[in-house]
Structure 1
């Protein structure tokens, strides 16, 4: 049995055929959500932004952090799928293959980002102290 939909609810949400409530965010709500995500990312990258490194290197370092974060999420998703008993073995294998493929793509992108970072550092002849700073930021 699904609860009745009140007219005010129809504008901000709905109930799908399985009885789940779907919420629709207003453009302002979406903006606030993005702003929150951007604030979290900015806080995460504060050390990169405050470094004395060139902007191009800062951008690559941020991209590397994004990729590492996405890889961690995919690894957790793989573990969740492996531990799940909800789907058939065929569905489980298909889902594992999909996530593994996404993980492979992310790892490839991470390797490319590292190669690009090394090339840029070589091209601008980054000195030893700056290279140490890059290494420290990669480890953070």
Structure 2
């Protein structure tokens, strides 16, 4: 058997060639470009949509780290998302109510109130689904405590 010497540079990875990653209706989430600088390497920048998605994932890290079944984790994440949307709509409603009353403002208030009612209904349905899943899964007392803690957080 014969071993030949080779140049270590020949084993170096090829330069990174990656276009923007698309998700959620074609929005750019990540942009990657080669950078030559003191440290060399690659520069990765997140778009606004990518940053929002990353923050959302970080907010749900406690749910992901729990010892709960995946279906319950997903329902807890959905409830959190719906609560966040509800808070945003309530803030929007408060801002509209602070404006001068006009017929256009009233139409917007009515639309936001309708969306708030829909979100309340969705949260109620998700809560009922969570209770149903918890009963079917026969969770331990530790898991039940985890669900209660995650619902508050």
TM bucket by the smaller chain? 0.7 to 0.9
Q: Which residue matches 1:37?
A: 52
Whose strand proportion is higher, 1 or 2?
2
Which of 1 and 2 has greater Rg? 2
Q: Which residue matches 1:116?
A: 129
Structure 2: runs of 5 or more not aligned:
1-19, 22-26, 30-46
Match 1:46 to one of 61, 65, 80: 61
Higher relative contact order (CA 8 A, sep 6+): 1
1:131 paired with 2:129, answer no
Q: Helix, strand or coil for the counterpart of 1:30?
A: strand
Moved over 4 A (4+): none
Whose helix proportion is higher, 1 or 2?
1
User: Cα RMSD (Å) of the superposition?
Assistant: 1.5
Describe how 1:1-140 pairs up with structure 2 within 5 A: 30-31=28-29, 32-85=47-100, 89-140=102-153
State the TM-score, normalized to the length of structure 2.
0.69
Q: How many residues align?
A: 112
